[in-house]
Amino acid sequence: MASRTEPDGGPGTAPEDAYTAEPFLPGRGGLPALRKAAAGCRGCPLHRDATQTVFGAGNDHARVLLVGEQPGDQEDRQGKPFVGPAGKVLTRALDEAGIDPDDTYITNAVKHFKFELVPARGKRRIHKAPNLRELTACRPWLNAEMRLVDPDVIIALGATAGKALLGPSFRVTKQRGMLLPYEDRGESVVATIHPSAVLRADDRDAVYEGLVSDLRIAAQALS
């Protein structure tokens, strides 16, 4: 114990060398029980500064499960995934690709918003990428969601989700828009860009079309 660093998550948070959501998972029950338990997760320090846990949402029996990175500012305030600007882009792209948004369940690799306060910009909360340790800590929630929803196709939105599902050597530029086997389970994974990349792009139309065409690969896998 002497070599342990001080817990930096405050009371009730796992020590630094033991970030994991595992002890917070319920032993039984479906998605409602899981969602309820996740609201109290302190498996890593990200719960401290965020407003609330943003758990997956949508159709609990969806054939398509989408995985993003982490909640953004709007999601953190509202408690639901993809309700901000990136979500609007995504909904439109899904629809255009022929995926019924009602046949989707959407979640994130990390369930709490990680941000930096930027005083020069009116204390705006700026998204900060989760690190590997936080991703690993949060993974039991995603695994349980995938097991309970039991989709036919998983869509990884962006590099973080792609690496989480397909391993650290995953490259979104090289492997997007392909039906890839998901080793852990029987499903297929299709990776694409994160919808927020459309909003940041100079050539929004082209980047958006790329997103739609990747999503069409997932739509084809369903039919």
Inter-residue contact 133 to 19 (CB < 8 Å): yes
Instruction: Give me the residues that bind ligand SF4 (CB under 6 A), please.
Output: 21, 38, 41-44, 46-47, 53, 110-112, 134, 137-138, 141
At 39, is the secondary structure helix, strand, or coil? coil
Query: Whole-number minimum distance, CB 133 to ligand SF4, in Å?
Result: 10
**Of 75, 134, 145, 214, the one binding ligand URA by CB under 6 A:** 75
Measured distance CA(86)–CA(10) in Å, rounded: 32
Interaction between residue 68 and ligand URA (CB under 6 A): yes
Which H helix or E strand runs over 58? strand 57-58
Does 108 help bind ligand URA (rule: CB under 6 A)?
yes
In the list ligand URA, ligand SF4, none, the entry touching 145 (Cβ below 5 to 8 angstroms by class) is: none
Kindly tell me which of 14 and 104 has the beta carbon lying closer to ligand URA. Answer: 104
Annotate 65-125 with DSSP letters as a single string: EEEES---HHHHHHTSTT-SHHHHHHHHHHHHHT--GGGEEEEESSSS--EEEEGGGTTEE
**Which residue, 52 or 192, is less far from ligand SF4 as judged by CB?**
52
Judged by CB under 6 A, does residue 76 bind ligand URA?
no
Q: Which is nearer to ligand SF4, 133 or 185 (CB)?
A: 133
Task: Kindly list the residues in this chain that would bind ligand URA in the complex (CB under 6 A).
Answer: 68-72, 75, 81-82, 84, 86, 108, 196
